[in-house]
């Protein structure tokens, strides 16, 4: 039984360490991409449609669906990304507030990637969701570290090494 408990701790700590590291890195990549998008060139675009999508699962959530077109170097492009990481699901009020920012036929600034003008966003930068991904990853990583069976041995070895110096 003791072996089985140790096996579960190993498996759980490795899963939390790797999963936490994965989400931390993904969160950092998204934040950096959001910050970089703020310096992308802009083009004037036109909102072609602005709707709210209802998602049903365990509960009901909503997301804004915004479509727009813009012109870069004589070529017309179409886009539907609001943020750098794509869309999100939220309450109906939040989704409607975002859709209201982009009514059909409105002229907007479209931020597009200089290396790939087909990649564009309407709202560059970061928001709480981007940081939450890294935060969740860090919590998972710290939890995995705290239950890691060899944590105590590693700490003792580090302390012994410091004492020898």
> Which residue in the block uniquely carries the two structure tokens 């004037």?
44
**43 shares a domain with 120:** yes
**102 shares a domain with 84:** yes
**107 shares a domain with 53:** yes
pLDDT confidence band for 4 (50 / 70 / 90): low
**70 shares a domain with 21:** no
pLDDT over 80 at 2, yes or no: no
Residue scoring higher pLDDT (150 or 136): 136
Phi, psi for 46 (deg, rounded to 5): -125, 130
Domain count, the chain: 2
pLDDT over 70 at 3, yes or no: no
pLDDT over 70 at 28, yes or no: yes
**29 shares a domain with 16:** yes
Residue 86's pLDDT is: 66
**58 shares a domain with 129:** no
**129 shares a domain with 118:** no
When mean pLDDT is compared across 4-13, 23-32, 36-45, 69-78, the lowest value belongs to: 4-13
Q: What is the chain's length?
A: 165
Tell me the CATH number at 109. 2.40.50
User: Could you tell me the residue range of the domain that residue 141 belongs to?
Assistant: 11-38+125-160
Please compute the mean of the pLDDT values over residues 120-127 and round it to a whole number. 92
pLDDT confidence band for 9 (50 / 70 / 90): confident
**Contacts of 26 by beta carbon, 8 Å cutoff, 6+ apart:** 133, 134, 137
Q: What is the rounded distance in angstroms from the CA atom of residue 105 to the CA atom of residue 110?
A: 14
**87 shares a domain with 68:** yes
In a domain, 165, yes or no: no
Nearest to 68 by CA among 88, 41, 43: 43
Residue 38's pLDDT is: 95
pLDDT over 70 at 126, yes or no: yes
pLDDT confidence band for 87 (50 / 70 / 90): low
């Amino acid at each position: 039984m003791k072996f089985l408990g140790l096996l579960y701790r190993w498996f759980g700590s490795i899963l939390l360490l790797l999963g936490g590291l994965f989400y931390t890195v993904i969160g950092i990549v998204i934040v950096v991409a959001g910050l970089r998008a703020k310096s992308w060139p802009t083009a004037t675009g036109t909102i072609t449609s602005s709707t709210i999508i209802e998602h049903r699962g365990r509960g009901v959530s909503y997301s804004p669906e915004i479509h727009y077109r813009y012109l870069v170097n004589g070529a017309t492009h179409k886009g539907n990304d609001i943020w750098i990481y794509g869309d999100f699901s939220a309450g109906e009020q939040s989704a409607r507030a975002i859709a209201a920012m982009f009514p059909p036929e409105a002229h907007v600034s479209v931020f597009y990637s200089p290396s790939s003008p087909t990649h564009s966003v309407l709202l560059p930068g970061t928001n709480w969701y981007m940081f939450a991904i890294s935060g969740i990853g860090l919590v998972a990583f710290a939890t995995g570290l705290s239950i890691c069976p060899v944590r105590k041995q590693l700490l003792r070895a580090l302390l012994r090494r410091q004492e020898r110096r």
